Amino acid sequence: MEFEQFGNLDQPDLYYEYYPHVYPGRKGSMVPFSMRILHAELPQYLGNPQESLDRLHSMKIICSKILENLEQGLAEDGSMTNITQENRQASVQLWRSRLGRVMYSMANCLLMMKDYVLAVHTYHTVIKYYPQQEPQLLSGIGRIFLQIGDIKTAEKYFQDVEKVTHKLDGLQSQIMVLMNRAFLHLGQNNFAEAHRFFTEILRIDSSNAVANNNAAVCLLYLGKLKDSLRQLEGMVQQDPKHYLHESVLFNLTTMYELESSRSMQKKQALLEAVAIKEGDSFNTQCLKLG
Amino acid sequence: MDVNQPKQEHLLALKVMRLTKPTLFTNIPVTCEERDLPGNLFNQLMKDDPSTVKGAETLMLGEMLTLPQNFGNIFLGETFSSYISVHNDSNQVVKDILVKADLQTSSQRLNLSASSAAVAELKPDCCIDDVIHHEVKEIGTHILVCAVSYTTQTGEKMYFRKFFKFQVLKPLDVKTKFYNAETDEVFLEAQIQNITTSPMFMEKVSLEPSMMYNVAELNTVDTAGKSESTFGARTYLQPMDTRQYLYCLKPKQEFAEKAGVIKGVTVIGKLDIVWKTNLGERGRLQTSQLQRMAPGYGDVRLSLETIPDTVNLEEPFDITCKITNCSSERTMDLVLEMCNTNSIHWCGVSGRQLGKLHPSSSLHLALTLLSSVQGLQSVSGLRLTDTFLKRTYEYDDIAQVCVVSSEVKQS
């Protein structure tokens, strides 16, 4: 709604040329690129993902055109210009990363629309723009296949991740590999093994929220409600700033409801904790008080 | 889902939660560039958010597992898993607790509990947990009946039951069509439609033939040693999508002889379908035995054993026919006549006797013919006359052959 004032972000009064007395000599749109991305992404959260896709496509076309112009020695808007090699390089880099950002949004949008074939294809394109994120993106694609139910293809992707991270050092890649193995076991219905891998991650990085949460979830599926609750509650009490997160709270309240008839009191205690730490935008629906 | 008995004060509380697989939490990424006003603020916020993927915070599909929020749908062939928890809500120790879980369908009552032994005692605020699994084999109303019996500290024996009703729905719509080939082969086309509300990965769809047939599945293409599914990259079915699977059935050697004589309804085999949904949730269905009406052949059947696909224009080619006496008592004396059509010209002697053919037996006949017209031509013009009954059977359009000009290379 707040975006309505700005229309489709191409109205004349949003261009520098409209205010020659304030911005003498400057050309182009005043709208920051990131704002355009926001404007494009918004409709998908409001139930109209096709509109998002259309907007992202037009942004993609413009970014591609600008890059084409730069590569042919012209200025971004296609006019003749004399800019230094350095500036040109900087501009190319900027617009390349912007194009990558648009592709990222498109892939996310396609995923939201459940068009898995296209989403996977687009994520592969994103890898070209963000090669440093290749292991994370490949793992993400693996998870998409897990969601579809195609466990074998997911396994292939997780194996590719291991090949790529083999050359990298560091905790992060180790954790990624363990996380993927845990997810694969989940897909094969093996909650005990999945729990083992999530716990393995905690041994390396004891404050890893995802591993903590996921290990607790596995415990529930193994019939250990009390242990699961203990793990999640411990997490929240230890570092409330970090762990009073929507998804963790969802899980906590679900387990409270399963545990006893006195879940309301515990949920209210959570609400108090949240009120202290979080701002107004916190989604209290996750506490299921209503 | 809850259908409770009238309120009664019990020391123990029974809770049930269906355990479908967890789902992955999705974030909403908000980014900005370095030179924008917020600077690094958004990026830092996303990095601090525990549910984002570290190093790729713009990726929406996170790694955090979220427990199922509602019962969801359950379909025939899936496994119903549920957590059953009995919690001591009181502040006294409770003894001799026995928890029983049964599944009541319209036709039977099944016991689901893993253990049938009573638990000696349950302290306050402790619980007895059990996870039950059951592969759902019936459609319609199912009732999970949980019964708890226990003894209070004062020695009073207590008992209560809770009922949880749920519907099992049909997940797939399967339609089958049979195609009879000119030879004794039967082609089965199976159309499978996903009538659930989530995407389905078809892990395996196979046809288990009855003892009369051998089956070849025609759903993969072998190129350069690698076999690829005919469905390509689209390995899953979205809700309401349909897919067609093709199978070729050939009667086994010992039945091939009788194939021409088979009348009425024959059993072909059954389809075995295995699918997976979210995070590997498995489902499996088998159809009932598929039946096919054998085409009626009358008393005498003429079928083709061999015929080339493609032939050269005006060049003679050979075919072999099989003539079967489908009657059960009469021995036949048959005379073969070949009639030419516009495009088909038979070579050989017409009007010859084929000899005696006993009931339920067949003979093989080699014939030569040529075609004078290019294109897809229909082989017609064979006449068999039963000399005793003076009845003539006409056989037209028994097969098609592709006729090409001899300039086109022929192997």
Top residue of B26, B64, B79, B123 to mutate, by most chain A CBs within 10 Å, is B64
Is residue A172 within 8 angstroms of chain B, CB to CB?
yes
CB contact under 8 A, A242 and B48: yes
Contacts of B34 in chain A (CB under 8 A): none
- pLDDT score at B334: 87
Q: Binning pLDDT at 50, 70 and 90, where does residue A222 land? A: very high
User: What integer is the mean pLDDT of B390-397?
Assistant: 86
- pLDDT score at B225: 65
Comparing alpha-carbon positions, the chain B residue that sits nearest to A207 is: B50
- Name residue, tokens 């009931």: B359
pLDDT in tens, A71-88: 887 777 767 777 778 888
- pLDDT score at B262: 60
Put residue B77 in one of left, alpha, beta given phi > 0 → left and psi -120 to 50 → alpha.
left
Contacts of A186 in chain B (CB under 8 A): 21-22, 65, 279-280
Comparing alpha-carbon positions, the chain B residue that sits nearest to A40 is: B30
User: What integer is the mean pLDDT of A247-253?
Assistant: 85
Given a cut of 70, whether residue B362 has pLDDT beyond it is yes
Is residue A180 within 8 angstroms of chain B, CB to CB?
no
CB contact under 8 A, A133 and B56: yes
CA distance A21 to chain B (A): 23
Q: What is the mean pLDDT of chain A?
A: 83
User: What integer is the mean pLDDT of B292-297?
Assistant: 73
Contacts of A133 in chain B (CB under 8 A): 55-56, 59
- pLDDT score at B261: 54
Q: What's the Cα-to-Cα distance from A66 to each of A25, A60, A75, A77, B149, rounded to whole Å?
A: 20, 10, 8, 7, 75
Q: Binning pLDDT at 50, 70 and 90, where does residue B354 land? A: confident
Q: Binning pLDDT at 50, 70 and 90, where does residue A198 land? A: very high
Of the candidates B25, B28, B61, which has its C-beta nearest A144's C-beta? Answer: B61
- pLDDT score at A22: 66
Given a cut of 70, whether residue A25 has pLDDT beyond it is no
Angle (CA) A116 A122 A125, round 5°: 150
Q: Enumerate residues 6+ apart whose C-beta is below 8 A from A82.
A: none
User: What integer is the mean pLDDT of A34-63?
Assistant: 86
Of the candidates B19, B66, B130, which has its C-beta nearest A251's C-beta? Answer: B66
Q: Enumerate residues 6+ apart whose C-beta is below 8 A from A283.
A: A246
Distance, in Å, from the CA atom of B326 to the CA atom of B261, rounded to the nearest integer, reads: 5
CB contact under 8 A, B59 and A214: no
CA distance B74 to chain A (A): 16
pLDDT in tens, B266-291: 788 899 999 999 888 899 999 888 88
pLDDT in tens, B15-53: 888 998 988 888 888 777 777 766 677 777 777 777 788
- pLDDT score at A243: 76
Of the candidates A147, A224, A258, which has its C-beta nearest B15's C-beta? Answer: A258
- pLDDT score at B114: 63
- pLDDT score at B290: 87
Task: Show the tokens assigned to B359.
Answer: 């009931």
Q: Binning pLDDT at 50, 70 and 90, where does residue A219 land? A: very high
pLDDT in tens, B70-122: 888 899 999 999 998 888 888 888 888 888 888 998 888 888 876 667 788 88
DSSP conformation class of B53:
P
CB contact under 8 A, B199 and A187: no
How many DSSP H helices and E strands does chain A contain? 13, 0
Task: Give the number of beta-carbon pairs within 8 Å between A and B.
Answer: 171
Q: Are A258 and B85 in contact (CB under 8 A)?
A: yes
Q: Are B88 and B125 in contact (CB under 8 A)?
A: yes
Q: How far is CA B175 from the centre of its chain?
A: 10
CA distance A259 to chain B (A): 7
Query: DSSP 3-state assignment of B370?
Result: strand
Question: Which of the two residues, B227 and A94, has the higher pLDDT score?
Answer: A94
- pLDDT score at A221: 92
Contacts of B87 in chain A (CB under 8 A): 259-260
Of the candidates A104, A135, A149, which has its C-beta nearest B276's C-beta? Answer: A149
Specify which of A26-30, A118-122, A170-174, B362-366 reaches the highest per-range mean pLDDT.
Answer: A118-122
